[in-house]
Chains A and B, each alone.
With several copies, the nearest count.
Chain A
Amino acid sequence: MIRLKHVSKDYGGDRPALTDISVNIAKGEFVFLVGPSGSGKSTFIRLLLREILPTQGDIYISGQDIKALRSWKIPFLRRNIGCVFQDFKLLPNKTAFGNVAFALEVIGRSRYMIKKQVPEVLRLVGLEDKLDSYPGELSGGEQQRVSIARAFVNRPPLLLADEPTGNLDPATSLGVMTLFNRINRSGTTILIATHDREMVDSMRKRVIALENGNVVRDQLRGVYGYED
């Protein structure tokens, strides 16, 4: 599903954000990406979305070299990737419903389908009574859950999540994780960047640990690690 070959990304700072990363993630896997603040987790995810291009190396998603992708094809790549962003990236002038519906409008789903699926998915994340609230009227955790709902409303084969529980209380976090697990069991590949030690430790999934832009650990059924 995902193959990174000697990928480096240098923003031009003191040191590159990622250095010579080679990782394979198979279809259907559930992977945690952990590492201290600034270690390059978000950069990893932005590379997969082709929001940024790698300085060196190649990235393949479903066998496709996304570095060589023609620019008009990029939207089609992204429609197959659901993504929860660390800063939510909700459209401020659309309601919670509108934001989730947008991901379906973009791929041309019928209005009937949208009317049916969106409330369903928002109910899954516990926002059934916030359908008509704008992002500015939602709490941090509620915005994060809208972002999660948008990421998987169109059942993409690949789901990326950057810090999906950073603004959620432990109970809600657990609910979201259960959800991810369920989605994963239906065949979706999942990659989650997180700091949530409890979550990583309790799930015992594959863990890729970054530090200063290097992969320092890649462990099946791993734990968060990093003892304080």
Chain B
Amino acid sequence: MKINAVYYSKEALTNFRKNWVLSMGAVTAVALCLIVIGAIMFIAYMGNQFINKVESQIEIEIFLKDNAPYGQIEALQNQIVNWSAVKKVNYVSKENALKKFKIDFKDNPEVLQNLQGNPLPSSFRVWLKNPRTVEATVKRIKRLSIIDQVVADKNNDIKYGSQYVSKLFVITRGVSIAAGGIVLLLIFVSLVLITNTIRLAIFARRKEIGIMKLVGASNWFIRVPFLFEGVIEGALGGAIAILILGIIYRATIKSIMGGKWLVFMRIPLDQGAFMVMLLVLLLSGILIGAIGSAIALRRFLKV
């Protein structure tokens, strides 16, 4: 029905203009909620990037016997490097280990003074594609037949900071749960608020709705313009949220990325991901508007 589509849109737009206060109420409600959600999404994204970065530093150290034969060492490396879970295997010679030790302990000269010769072993450092496979991989290394010929004591000399790793995963999970929970709560809050706003808007026009019914308008004829209006308001709210978040982003990104206080977690910011986030916000706005008015209408437009 071509005429009706025209009628509905015209009607929705007219109502929007006529009931300026009501409409702007709904729009600001959507916009504010989406701004908060967007900000939290952004922070969660940054936090996730940060955690990924930390996780990517998880490594397995295999300390080698001083007297392990060179051929066996090479064989071990060739085996491990071919596993699908493994990203990279580095060999650290005794000399390099000592250099690193000296750097690490440069503040404790009394320890270094007492160092005789080079007591440090050579080692492999194994990085994984997915840090969560670290325990499985360690087990697999220990099961290798070759391992006993290269490592003195396979229970002590294969290390991956087990305590540190499990604690990190626990934090990661806690933080994701908390962030997800807050975002869900806020989506719920905004949905309730928008339903409320639209319900109020409909409530304010309940007399008009009654009149329409008396003149013979069918329920859908009355409902559709309200739905359209909700969608318009949601979309407008989403657009405003995007605009404001964009401005905030432009204003603060320099101080976040280049500034002092977060410099220790320099995170690569993906422009594409940011764009996707904005698109998600706009769509959420539209969805919220549609769902909100649908809920509001259900209550008030019984015959």
A residues within 8 Å of B by Cβ? 49, 51, 71-72, 74-79, 81, 83, 85, 89-93, 102-103, 105-108, 110-111, 150
Give Cα A74 to B211, complex, Å.
14
**Looking across the interface, which residue of chain B has its beta carbon closest to that of A49?**
B214
* Cross-interface CB contact of A93 among B3, B4, B208, B218, cutoff 8 Å: B208
B216 & A106 in contact (Cβ 8 Å cutoff): yes
B214 touches A91 (CB 8 A): no
Query: Chain B contact residues: over half helix, strand or loop, or mixed?
Result: helix
Q: Collect the chain B residues with CB atoms within 8 Å of residue A111's CB.
A: 3, 6
A107 contacts which chain B residues (CB < 8 A)? Answer: 216
User: A81–B211 Cα gap in the complex (Å)?
Assistant: 14
| Contact A106:B217 (CB < 8 A) given known A71-B303, A93-B14, A93-B18 | yes
**CB–CB B214/A105 < 8 A:** no
A76 touches B214 (CB 8 A): no
Choose among B6, B19, B214 the residue that contacts A89 (Cβ–Cβ < 8 A). B214
For the complex with contacts A78-B213, A93-B208, A111-B3, 20 further pairs of A-B residues with Cβ separation under 8 Å are A49-B214, A51-B214, A72-B218, A72-B303, A75-B216, A75-B221, A78-B215, A81-B216, A89-B211, A90-B211, A93-B14, A93-B15, A93-B19, A102-B215, A105-B7, A106-B212, A106-B221, A108-B3, A110-B3, A111-B6
Contacting residues, chain A, for B4 (C-beta < 8 A): 108
Q: Is B219 an interface residue (CB 8 A)?
A: yes
A85 contacts B3, CB within 8 Å? no
For this complex, 20 residue pairs linking A to B, each with C-beta atoms less than 8 Å apart, are A75-B213, A75-B217, A75-B221, A78-B213, A78-B215, A91-B208, A91-B212, A92-B208, A93-B14, A93-B15, A93-B18, A102-B215, A103-B215, A106-B215, A107-B216, A108-B1, A108-B3, A108-B4, A110-B3, A111-B3
Docked CA distance A51–B211 (Å): 11
Number of interface residues of B (CB under 8 A): 22
Residues of A within 8 A of B15 (CB): 93
In the complex where A92-B208, A110-B3 touch, is A150 in contact with B215 (Cβ < 8 A)? yes
- Nearest-neighbour CB distance to chain B for A67, whole angstroms, equals 14
Min Cβ gap A165→B in Å is 20
Chain A residue, CB-CB nearest to B210: A89
Tell me if A83 and B214 are in contact (CB < 8 A).
yes
Q: With the chains together, A73 CA to B251 CA distance in Å?
A: 51
Which 4 A-B residue pairings sit nearest by Cβ, starting from the closest?
A78-B216, A79-B216, A71-B303, A75-B218
| Min CB–CB distance B29 → chain A (angstroms) | 22
Query: Which residues of chain B (208-237) have a CB below 8 Å from chain A?
Result: 208, 210-219, 221
- In the assembled complex, the CB of A105 is this many whole angstroms from the nearest CB of chain B, namely 6
Minimum C-beta distance from A90 to chain B (A): 7
Closest chain B residue to A92 by CB distance?
A: B208
Chain A, residue nearest B302 (CB) = A71
A78–B214 CA distance with the chains assembled, in angstroms? 7
Complexed CA–CA distance, A102 and B213 (Å): 11
CA distance A107 to B219 in the complex (A): 13
